[in-house]
Amino acid sequence: MATIQERVNAKGDKSYRVQVRLRGAAPETATFSKITDARRWAQQTEADIRAGRHLKSVQAERHTVAEMLNRYEAQILPKKSDWAEGQSFQLQWWKERLGPYTLAYVTPAMIAEKRDELKATPVKRGKTERPRSASTVIRYMAALSHAFTVAVRKWGWLDDNPVRKVTKPTEPRGRVRFLSDVERANLLAACGKSKNPCLYDVVLLALSTGMRRGEIMNLTWDAVDFQRRMITLEHTKNGERRAVPLVGPVYNALWERSRLRRIDSPYVFPARLRYGKEPKPIEIQNAWLVALKRADIKNFRFHDLRHSAASYLAMNGVSLPEIAAVLGHKTLAMVQRYAHLSDARTSKVVERMNQAIFGGESEQREQGGSQ
Q: Which residues contact 204 (CB under 8 A, 6 or more apart)?
A: 188, 191, 249, 250, 253
Name the 3-class secondary structure at 301. Answer: coil
Catalytic residue among 63, 146, 184, 212: 212
pLDDT of 60 reads 77
Catalytic residue among 95, 306, 307, 312: 306
For domain 181-346, give the fold: hpI Integrase; Chain A (1.10.443)
Q: Is 363 exposed, middle or buried (0-12, 13-18, 19+ CB in 10 A)?
A: exposed
Catalytic residue among 235, 261, 280, 329: 329
126, 201, 259, 260, 288 from 303: Cα distances, Å: 20, 16, 29, 28, 12
pLDDT of 165 reads 92
Catalytic residue among 53, 235, 237, 345: 237
Parallel/antiparallel/unpaired status of strands 128-130 and 224-225: unpaired
Return phi, psi of residue 336, to 5°.
-60, -25
Q: Where are the domains of the chain?
A: 2-52, 65-165, 181-346
Which residues of the chain carry a pLDDT beneath 50? Answer: 362
Catalytic residue among 14, 62, 303, 340: 303
Catalytic residue among 72, 267, 312, 338: 338
For domain 65-165, give the fold: DNA polymerase; domain 1 (1.10.150)
Distance CA 349, CA 320 (A): 14
22, 207, 290 from 296: Cα distances, Å: 76, 18, 10
- What is the C-alpha end-to-end distance of the chain, expressed in Å? 93
Distance CA 11, CA 175 (A): 71
Q: Identify whether 303 is a catalytic site residue.
A: yes
pLDDT of 25 reads 60
Q: Identify whether 306 is a catalytic site residue.
A: yes
Which H or E run contains 36? helix 35-51
pLDDT of 51 reads 64
Which of 305, 204, 212, 192 lies closest to 254, judged by CA? 204
